[in-house]
Structure formats: C-alpha cells, structure tokens
Structure 1
Amino acid sequence: MNVRRLIPAAALPSAVLLGLTALTACGSGPATADNKDGKLKVVASFYPMQFLTEQIGGSHVSVSNLTKPGVEPHDLEISAKQTAQLNDAAAVVYLKGLQPAVDAAVKQSDVKTKVDASTLTKLEQHGNEVGGHAAEHDHAADGQSHAEAGSDPHIWQDPVKYAEVARGIGAALEKADPAHAADYKKNTDDLVKKLGDLDKEYAAALKNTKTKVFITTHAAFGYLAERYGLTEEAINGLDPESEPSPARIKDLQKMAKADGVTTVFYETLVSDKTAKTLASDASLKTDVLDPIEGITDKSKGTDYFSVMRSNLTALTTALGAK
C-alpha cells in the first residue's frame, strides 16, 4: 500500500498567516462593496473556490465563477469580458497553479483583495508523471513556490485541507468587509464543522476495505488517497488530457489483477474512452469518481458535499468496504 506523508494540522496557522500577508500586500485598505445591492463582489476561479466563498459569504457576497459549468478548468482561457469582470471585483478567490490563464489575469488585475488558496494549506506532489508518483520535496526550503514546483492543486479532495482553505478565505472576507466580520466567522466555523464531519465519514467508511488501490483517469485524488490510506493509480498524470503509453496500460492491467482492483473510475468533464477500454480489456467495471471541478446536470449531486458523499459510495463499493 502506498500511503504518503500526512501534513500535521499544526501547519495551518502559519499557512493562513502567509495567505493573509499576501492579501495585505495586494491593497492598502479594506475592499468595498460596490454592487447596487450592497454586496461584496467576489470572483471565483472555479467551482471549489466558488463553493467556499458562497458558503462563508452568505447573503453578504455576490460571487461569479470564471469557469462555466461543463468547462474543464485546466483548459480555461480568459475572455476580455471576464478580464473586465475581474477588474471590477472587490476580491478574487483562486488557486494558483491550476489555471495558468487565471493566474496571469489575476496578476495583471487591479482587484484589491487577492486570495490564493495555495497559500492557505500545504501543497504536495502527487502523480506528476504518468505511471508514478513524484518524490516528495519541501520546496519552501529552496525558495520555490508551489506553482513552480509543479505541486498537485486538487486540495479540495481532502476535507481537512479544504477546511484549512475555508479558514483562510473566511479571514480574508473579514478583512475585506469588516462590517460583516462576525457573520463570516460564524459561517466559516459552521462550514469547517461540516467538513470535519465529512472527514470522519470517509475515515470510518474506508478504514477496512478488501483493497486499498483504485484506478482513475487522471491524478485528481492524491490528497484523498493520502488522507485515508489509499493508493491512487492514474491512467494519466495531473493533466487530464495527457495520453498514457501502451506500457502504462499493460502495467495497470497487471496491477489491477495483483491488487484485487474491481473498477476503473472516469469523470464527467473529460473523455471516458481510455478508462472504458482499459476496463474492458482487463474485465473490470467502470464507475464515476467526480473530481468536483464543476457541477453540471451529469454530476451525482448538486454541491460539494453531495458529490463527495456520492464519491464515497462509489469508493466503498469498488474497494470492498467491510
């Protein structure tokens, strides 16, 4: 079983402070609500950032998403209209390293409050190469940023890390809109508790399984695997559009037989062709494991929590939970 190093929860305070230091550098004073309805105008880069901001901001924020439902976030290109939308916002919440076009647009924008989720928790390396997991390395020690190091950005797949990001976003909204700071803090606390409950559900359901190995189309579930003592084997690497080699496919077929793998998981926003071909050749089942990069009518749920629980059901079935 490939269980990767867990990051202690004690790392959170320094991570949040790092994020807030970055926020302070982006503007000399609190952002103002400039919507006609008096709400704080916030732009989110893609669904996981939108979800946190809406849950924490509640009725005090108006959140728009740069990545429309059904669009693969990694491939997003920013239009002139979206650039104007970004410049008109009081705050932007994004995840550096996931969407290069967003990173560039945010860097060039005049938005006062820039919340980079990658500064709010510890990023690691998972599956940067097709067929293997990259060796871990502490890039903070040599001055490289997470984006430069090529770290795995899929932090929302781990409820514990997602809660750390929620804390940082909550603190940023309190700073940007101090008039409603008490509400932001309460909403953050409520959300963190729900994420804690979800973490407990996953830990209990995946504690005893027949196998600890699962196969996915691309390496979006490294943090989830790490948190719950599982091993993700991705057909592709972190890039969902990359193509596996024939040797990789053959290795996966052998591994599936040796480790008792029953299911090849695919996702809703990219082609399922390779996953279904592998499953057919190896006499395996297929099912959806949603990376939750966007919610569409094909999603097995209407929000982050419902899709995460749907994913848990799929995992417990495929892994033979006892």
Structure 2
Amino acid sequence: MSRQTSGRWLLRFLTIGLLAGMSACGLPQLERDEPAVRQITLIAPVHADELGDAMRLGAEAAAKEFGAELSYAPFKPEEGSAAQLKAAVEALKGGTDALLIDPADSRVLDSAALQAADHGVPVFILNDNRSADGVQASISVDNEEAGRKAGLAMAELLGEKGTVVVLGRQSDDPDLVARELGIVNALNEQPHVSGLIRTSCGEGLGSCRSVARQLLREGQAEGIIALDAQASLAAAAEAEAADRAGRMKIVTFGNELKQLELLQDGLIHTLIVQNGFSIGYLGVKQAVLHLAGEDIERSTRLDTKVINAGNMFWMDNQKLLFPFG
C-alpha cells in the first residue's frame, strides 16, 4: 500500500472517530419541533366581581388541562366599556392567539371583533348571545329560561295576589331582553298576578335607587324582579329604607357577594344563578380546539339554578356560589 493510500485511510478513520466522539459528547441533535403553547386572553366582564372571578378560575383550570397559557385582564369597579375595549386591543397588539370576552355592549363587541379579524385572531363570546364577524363561538346561559324561572319564583312568593315590577337599566342587550321576555311569559300564565309594570333606571346605582324609591313610595307593587345586580341592590336598599325589608319580595339574577348577604338576611328572596366557572372553562376549551383545527360548537347554552335562603348552603350550591373557596 502506498504512503498516499494509507494516509487517506487514516484520515477517514480519524474523521469517523471524531464524528462518533462528538455525538457521544452530546452535540445538539435534530429534534422534532414541539407545538407552540397557545396564548389565550380572557377579558373580564365589567361591574361583575364574583362572576369575573368564577370565569377566571374556570379558564385557568382549562388552560392547565389543555396546555395553554392564559392572560387575564380585570377591571376596577369604576371602569366600564372603554376600559374593556382598550384591554382587548392591547391583547391583540400583544400577540394573543385567541380572545375571550364578555362584552359590556355591542360597541365593544363589534370593535373588538373587527380589530381581531385584522390580526387574524378568533374571538369567543362568554356570557352573551350576541355575535359579530370574526366571532367563532359563544358560551352563555338560556336567558329566556332564566327569566321564566324568575317569574315563577316571584309568583310563588306572592301567594294569592300581587303586582310585579320588572326593574333594570334601559338596554338593547339581547340577554336582558330575553330575560324580560321569559319573566313576562311566566307571569302572564299566573292568574293571581294582577299586574305587571315595566320600568327602567339609569346606569348608576343612584339613579336606580331613585326609581325604586318612587315605586315604593307610591305602593305600586308587592314584588320587584331586578334584571341585574345593580337593580337588585337598589331595590333592596330602598325596601329597607322604607321599612319594607322582607315584605317587598325581590327576585334577581347573579351571585355577587352583596347579593348573597342580602339573600341570607332576607332582603332578597331568590337568585337565579349561572355557572361562571363552566363558562370560563368551556371558553378556553373551545379556543384550544379551534386553534388546533378541530370542529367546535358555535353556540353552547348552560342552565341556571334557583337559589334561596333555604338551599344556598347545600353542598352543590356552595360549589356554584363560591367556586373560589
């Protein structure tokens, strides 16, 4: 064998040995890329502390289960629709993969959905039946059925005879419209309900209290069905001020801490409660499935539960009312 030939074999041998040694020493190897963690943003509802907390807990549980990263945008009690829209826009600019929102009004929904479409980001509506271009799915309750439950609860509280006032802010919110429709239909089926008065109050608690105060002063009704938490707090406060606490029957929607205290004290008689935890959980689950290219339900409707002082401490109801415990 010539010196040149033996040199070539030696070079090949050394090269193979060197490569083997580098591999054994842990030189980076080509690996299959891991799927990116999806960034999902939940924009909290405004003026709904306990509901927002329950939705957040549900969303966090789903994010952990499905391997997503959740960002949560909460609000101060005095902040409203403008702050909510600003938070949605900031999330979109920050590169979120999906936006979950309980919109304060139609303007927030339309603007957020439009800007999300520009960023190629899907929108999922929570606790709301409205829709807009770019909205992939909604998770909410059957508000007409919830209203019907409120009407039947009031009819039972009144007993033999009475007039009912439906009190709430003036709004084109389809959820509130559906609630009122359910209430009216249920009460119209009750022969002992002698009258039904529909009245609205302004956005603030003070204006709502003024309307409730006038109703109590004129003695127009034996029962009030408040369409939202603010109206219920106003009605309860004025009933107590007029020395009619407990005698004025009050039925409402929600499970804010103050409402629960008033329920226990007998100033509010019945709450129609939705499962905020499930809404948040399903919102994140739907977002993750959609981002993975899977088919999802366009509309999911959850049931509500009738809560009163007699059943609020039952174990199942405790989990519903206090999911953060």
Higher gyration radius (CA): 2
TM-score clears 0.5: no
TM-score of the two chains, using structure 1 as the length reference: 0.41
TM-score of the two chains, using structure 2 as the length reference: 0.40
Higher-strand-fraction structure: 2
